[in-house]
């Protein structure tokens, strides 16, 4: 789930899939018969402005910027980043018999297809995760584009924690920008319902281990702490354990369950909860007790 690895993969996939009409080094020759010269009919500046306008309107695109201020290189920001070169496109639109709209549309379609292939925000890929309010706020600021904060789909969950919509792929868990709701034609509540149902299905076979009387969810399951948001799970667990439930979720990959009415369980859970204080993926330093359908810190 390394963001730099994903960027490199996206860029390579783009150049491989888009074909010679999209990606070309500045040193590559223009197509045979090109009319490129100092007196070009359509400048690189014009091509760059036109494609930035078109690509900015594609689903999921949060911004299009020039790379290093150069008109022939654009950076497209979605849940990751993809870069494109415009040298070949400019040469093609300056051929004597060029059909400008056809060339621009072909380029736009190739980019659209690539972004759609890479798009994690499809209904079947939606999941929920639990994150701290502080972590989400930091993410939104750090991933701002063109000075605009990257607001994601989020809602309060428990003290200091929020439930967030994400898109799942084999290589990443991507927090979903709020603008993607319109692309899916969903309201936030509908999207959370979809994501919770998908997450429940994902976690239907989650493994539990017993350690000194406490239940621990599989730490290698990336959505393990998302169990907190799934009411069906806790109804069954409460029946199995025969009493009120309490959990420790010190980090994103640790969820331990005990009985809220057992002093021994609560003492051990408090120690576990405090263990994530210095972890970059920390969640809650307090024990959470299940009361009805909500989690209350104790």
| Inter-residue contact 153 to 188 (CB < 8 Å) | yes
Residue 159's pLDDT is: 94
- For the stretch 156-177, pLDDT in tens is 999 999 999 999 988 889 999 9
Residue 247: CB atoms within 10 A of its CB come to 27
Residue 79's pLDDT is: 84
- For the stretch 27-64, pLDDT in tens is 334 444 344 444 458 999 999 999 999 999 999 999 99
| Inter-residue contact 152 to 138 (CB < 8 Å) | no
β-pairing, 70-77 vs 81-85, is antiparallel
Residue 147's pLDDT is: 87
Residue 172's pLDDT is: 87
* Structural element, H or E, at residue 55: helix 44-56
Q: What is the CA radius of gyration of the chain?
A: 25
Q: Give phi and psi for 163, each to the nearest 5.
A: -95, 135
Residue 217's pLDDT is: 96
- For the stretch 103-156, pLDDT in tens is 999 999 999 999 999 899 999 999 999 999 999 999 999 999 888 899 999 999
**Position 12 pLDDT exceeds 80:** no
DSSP state, residue 233: H
Structure tokens at 289: 């007790």
Show me where the domains of the chain are located: 3-118, 123-202, 208-297
Cβ contacts of 125 within 8 Å, gap of 6 or more = 167, 168, 169, 198
- For the stretch 243-298, pLDDT in tens is 999 999 999 999 999 999 999 999 999 999 999 999 999 999 999 999 999 999 99
Q: What is the pTM of this model?
A: 0.79
Euclidean distance between CA atoms 200 and 196, whole angstroms? 6
Residue 85's pLDDT is: 96
5 vs 158, residue with greater confidence: 158
- Cα dist from 132 to 38, 181, 280, 281, 297, whole Å: 56, 22, 11, 9, 14
Q: Which candidate, 66, 101, 62, places its Cα nearest to that of 86?
A: 66
Euclidean distance between CA atoms 183 and 185, whole angstroms? 5
- For the stretch 190-236, pLDDT in tens is 999 999 999 999 999 999 999 989 999 999 999 999 999 999 999 99
Residue 40's pLDDT is: 52
Q: Which candidate, 202, 233, 253, places its Cα nearest to that of 295?
A: 233
- For the stretch 72-89, pLDDT in tens is 999 999 988 899 999 999
């Amino acid at each position: 789930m390394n963001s730099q690895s994903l960027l490199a993969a996206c860029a390579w996939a783009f150049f491989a899939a888009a074909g010679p009409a999209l990606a070309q080094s500045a040193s590559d020759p223009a197509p045979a018969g090109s009319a490129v010269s100092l007196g070009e009919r359509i400048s690189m500046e014009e091509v760059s402005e036109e494609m930035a306008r078109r690509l900015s309107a594609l689903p999921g695109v949060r911004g299009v910027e020039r790379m290093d201020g150069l008109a022939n290189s654009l950076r497209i920001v979605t849940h990751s980043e993809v870069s494109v070169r415009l040298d070949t496109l400019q040469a093609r639109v300056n051929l004597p018999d060029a059909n400008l709209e056809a060339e621009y549309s072909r380029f736009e379609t190739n980019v659209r297809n690539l972004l759609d292939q890479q798009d994690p925000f499809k209904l079947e890929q939606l999941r929920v995760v639990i994150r701290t309010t502080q972590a989400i706020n930091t993410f939104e600021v750090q991933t701002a584009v063109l000075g605009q904060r990257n607001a994601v789909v989020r809602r309060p969950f428990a003290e200091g924690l929020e439930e967030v919509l994400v898109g799942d792929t084999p290589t990443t868990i991507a927090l979903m920008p709020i603008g993607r709701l319109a692309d899916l034609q969903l309201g936030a509540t509908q999207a959370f319902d979809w994501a919770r149902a998908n997450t429940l299905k994902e976690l239907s076979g989650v493994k539990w281990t017993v350690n000194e009387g406490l239940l621990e969810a599989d730490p290698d399951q990336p959505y393990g702490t998302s169990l907190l948001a799934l009411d069906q799970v806790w109804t069954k667990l409460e029946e199995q354990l025969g009493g009120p439930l309490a959990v420790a979720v010190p980090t994103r990959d640790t969820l331990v369950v005990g009985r809220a009415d057992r002093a021994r369980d609560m003492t051990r859970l408090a120690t576990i909860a405090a263990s994530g204080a210095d972890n970059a993926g920390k969640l809650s330093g307090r024990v959470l007790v299940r009361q009805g359908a909500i989690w209350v810190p104790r």
